[in-house]
Amino acid sequence: MSNAIGKPTSRVDGRLKVTGRAVYTAEHHLANIAYAHLVLSSVSKGRLLALDTTAAAAAPGVITVMTHLNAPLMAATQVFDTTTETSGAESTSVPILQTDRVYWHGQPMAVVVAETLEQAQYAAGLVRAEYAEEPARVTLRGKEDQGFPPENILGAAAEIHRGDVDAALAASAARVDHEYSTPLEHHNAIEPHATTAFWDGDQLTVYDSSQYIFGVRQTLAEKFGLPLSHVRVLAPFVGGGFGGKGLAWPNVALCVAAARMVGRPVKLSLTRAQMFACTGYRSPTEQRVALGADSQGRLTALRHTGYSQTSTGNTFAEMFTFPARHLYACPNVRLEQKIVRLDVAAPTFMRGPGEAPGTFALESALDELAYELGIDPIELRARNEPERDPDSGRPFSSRHLTEAYRIGADMFGWSRRDPKPRSMSDGRWLVGWGVASAMYPYYRFPASARVKLLADGSAQVETGAQDMGMGTATVHTLIVADHLGLPLAKVRARLGDTDLPFAAIAAGSATTVSAGSAIESACLALKSQLLALARSGDGPLREVPDAEMELRDSGVYLKADSQHGEAYAALLARHRRECVEARADTQAGDEMKNFSMVSTGAQFCEVRVDPDLGEVRVSRFLGVFDGGRILSPKTARSQFLGGIVMGLGMALMEETVVDARNGRVVNPGLAEYLVPVHADVPAIEVHWLDKPDPQAPLGARGIGEIGITGVAAAVANAVYHATGRRIRDLPITPEKLL
């Protein structure tokens, strides 16, 4: 064993990225390539009466203008959302460029293909559309009476009823009952959505900035009537996703259709504004949380209800009631959420979907209850720590939330906090401290992997998993190096290609345990082959039992004698083998059926608030997490930090503003849609317990999303402590404080 796992390791692809040698989707420059640009609708609902493409078609360099009148036939495919199970990645049931109907503001209505990108963009501005506009519903607020419960949410019941909540609330010694809201948010990954497609007869190859290349392959095969074997999708490098690249948005199929139409490769890259129009977002939520407790702070009633929006083209529920199902013991519970169908683009998963907005409401309400009771908010949470999962009744596989709070309180200096609002200051700045719980469930998806040991003694690990920057290639390399006893430099990870073994969507913080378990199984199978080769023939380990041999130092050696053995290169040369390989296919395990598997954490925040201007500055932040075994500490730290920074944006600045008159996004760019920059980010500390989960492969649980959960509530709770003003409507802006 190399003991590579658990050591701080720099990203194996880091040098490629910082030197510009990592090739992203829009950087594939194929021979004779053409460039496409979208023309989007300017109304939210109606019918296209006329589309004048004459001037565009006559513009310099234009090859064709594709509309619903001349586009190749694209079959309808099943939509991937929170209520269905499908192997595809279709984002909407709206027949894009197959109809004259308009379903949302920003729906693609035409595609201009030209010799250069600039020519395509110029010509797209010459297309003139005339619409028969119809009344549209474009904002959630005021449409609550049109809400309906989804059939299920990710296979779970949309409603949970336990005990008599109303009676328990009425009899409670203390209670809170408030409404909380979170806005529409866009992912804004640095790499825009892009697709490059080319046909070779009926063979289709697509480069796509995707978190789910096998789903994209399935959808494109069905949409264009191809066998799966005729479609190859590649995404070896993805510049951020956060859930926004989990589905095939309309640009993907339109690029493929345009390539078929013009008979040459086509590249379609969305502008930042177009990403706001047609690639998904986090649904806004309106939530109501009512909590009741006895005089000792033990919860007697928990009601969490509310609404989120979906579109006419999908049925997506932002699962904000999920944290309330697992975090706290309570005998009387009512959890209900409804969705409202609007004439808007399709919402989708965004980092910590459900858990991020859900913990804002629940953890803010817990803080309000702590003040009602006069109990420290950390102590209140400890008094309601469940022994078993409150929803399923299953035992926890591993849960150490109270320990995370204890460690965090010591590190943060929580005992020095004066609980009275507006009691702490630093010069003219009001100072506040707040806490909140983080939580995210464990998921494991089916996956396959192949591991090869080559004749030169190096190894190659292959899986179709996608890496959006979270360090997947690094973790895969660590697992192989650890099992085969190789230095990291002698292991190469290949990923992001549907010609490689299957991997599910890179989502749900599941890639490490899903693909990792398949890689580990493949390594164990490969080990068996290597031991058999070592003891056969006339090698130095001939007829030595397996139990007395181990893989280390780039070879097979006796456990009892570090010098007695055979290097891999010599072993393969002796058997005249170019390589030895093993493949493993793993399924979602029974651990999720038998145990409640939830990662948790404690978020600590310090803010400074200008009492005259309402300016809020997060001056200190600490997150302490129980996420199982940490395989790659250096990349794990980056994941925790990234989640926290994204949570700070959610708390203080992120909001997509929609014009209620016409459905147009009025801030479709990073100049108007605010995200945290360096000046907004304080000193952030992260700490993890590193306690392996005995039920999880590799002892690990996913950590990519837990970092964002609870952050907005911790900030809001700190703002209340600093100012005495409770903000229940994100983001927390100076206007709301003054």
The values of phi and psi at residue 657, to 5°, are -100, 125
Name the H helices within 289-438.
322-326, 355-373, 377-383, 401-412
Task: List, as one string, the DSSP characters of 666-720.
Answer: S--STTTS----GGG--EEEEEE-----TTSGGGB---TTGGGTTHHHHHHHHHH
Torsion of CA 450, 453, 459, 463, to 10 degrees: -10
Active site residue 672: no
Whether the CB-CB separation of 140 and 340 falls below 8 Å is answered with yes
- Three-state secondary structure call for residue 47: strand
Round to whole Å and give the CA distance between 284 and 4.
43
Dihedral of CA atoms 387, 388, 390, 392 in degrees, nearest 10, equals -170
DSSP string, 479-496: HHHHHHT--GGGEEEE-S
For residue 724, what are its two tokens?
């005495």
Strand order in the sheet with 565-567: 549-552, 555-558, 565-567
Residue 494 Cα to chain centre, angstroms: 21
* 8-state DSSP, 527: H
Of these residues, 462, 672, 705, 735, which one is catalytic? 705
Nearest to 400 by CA among 618, 625, 157: 625
Residue 338 has, within 13 A of its CA and on its CB side, a CA count of: 13
Looking at residue 466, the DSSP 8-state letter turns out to be: -
Tokens linked to 128? 């003139």
Nearest to 195 by CA among 16, 28, 31, 23: 28
- Please tell me the number of Cα atoms within 13 Å of 128 on its side-chain side: 3
CA distance 98 to 72: 9
The CA-based dihedral angle spanning residues 701, 703, 704, 707, taken in that order and rounded to the nearest 10 degrees: 150
Q: Other C-beta atoms within 10 Å of 170: how many?
A: 11
- Helix, strand, coil shares, percent, the chain, to 5: 30, 25, 45
Query: What phi and psi, each to the nearest 5 degrees, are found at residue 351?
Result: -30, 120
Q: What phi-psi label fits residue 436: left (phi over 0), alpha (psi between -120 and 50 degrees) or beta? A: beta
Cβ-based neighbour number of residue 232 at 10 Å: 17
Where are the extended beta strands (E) located within 406-467?
A: 424-426, 429-441, 447-454, 459-462
Number of neighbouring beta carbons within 10 Å of residue 326? 21
Q: What is the DSSP string of 581-635?
A: EEEEEE---THHHHSB-EEEEEEEEEEEE-TTT--EEEEEEEEEEE-B--S-HHH
The answer to whether the peptide bond before residue 731 is cis (omega within 30 degrees of 0) is: yes
Which positions are annotated as active-site residues?
705
